[in-house]
Amino acid sequence: MREDGKYAFFKNQIENWWKTNKRIFPWRKRQSAWNLLVTAILLRKTNADKVARHYNQILGKLNSPISTYNLKLSKIEDALKPLGLHKSRARQLKEASKIILEKYGGKIPDKLEELLKIPGVGMYTASVILGMAYGKNIPIVDINVVRVMSRFFGLSKLTLEKASEMLMKMVGKDDATKISLAIIDFSAKICKARKPKCENCPLTSRCKFSSATKNF
């Protein structure tokens, strides 16, 4: 199958699956750039369902750069305790709020190069902010997205950067953020790191990983 045909198959199957299997989280509703920055930090090394249970309580206390900056570090740590890793996360949020207030006047920038200057903001978090808060056509790629794509396309050395390039080529002018979220949900429910549910996967007929597993 030609590359563009396989891209179209992957995209269409993922989008169709997502229509009835989308995960619902509070941060996927319209959120401020700051709320999304906080969310991305909370989701690191923490299950999304656990973050969702404590989301409103935490964001009620850390709902803006100024409110976060004005809190003592110990108070930020207390707010984050239910999720663990509260000391490192509190430091990141305190430092981020300081930079945002001092350098950007309290408004989170909408340019990638500026976002990456904020403590705690890497490419993934910056992409979340640009795609979900500012409506930019940008893919959100993490190790879960890479896992799904590397398995399907048979690319054992797929990098975050290459996966991002592939997604942009795949969607063109469509919503790269939307397909990214669909793949993230697919990775959580079907293409899991351990014990993937290949028997329930709509990609199986053309998936390199599934074919190799069957042959083995």
Looking at the fold, whether 8 and 54 belong to one and the same domain comes out as no
* CATH code, 51: 1.10.340.30
Residue % of the chain over a pLDDT of 70: 97
Classify residue 26: in a domain, yes or no.
Answer: no
For 16, phi then psi, to 5°, come to -65, -40
Mean pLDDT of the 186-206 span: 96
Q: Count of domains in the chain?
A: 2
So what's the pLDDT on residue 174?
82
Question: Is the predicted pLDDT of residue 216 greater than 50, yes or no?
Answer: no
Do 186 and 109 share a structural domain? no
Last residue of a domain, one of 133, 160, 175: 133
Q: Are residues 40 and 62 in the same domain?
A: yes
Among 109, 133, 157, the domain-final residue is 133
Domain that holds residue 61: 31-133
pLDDT of residue 54: 97
pTM summary value: 0.92
Average pLDDT, integer, range 28-35: 93
pLDDT for 2: 66
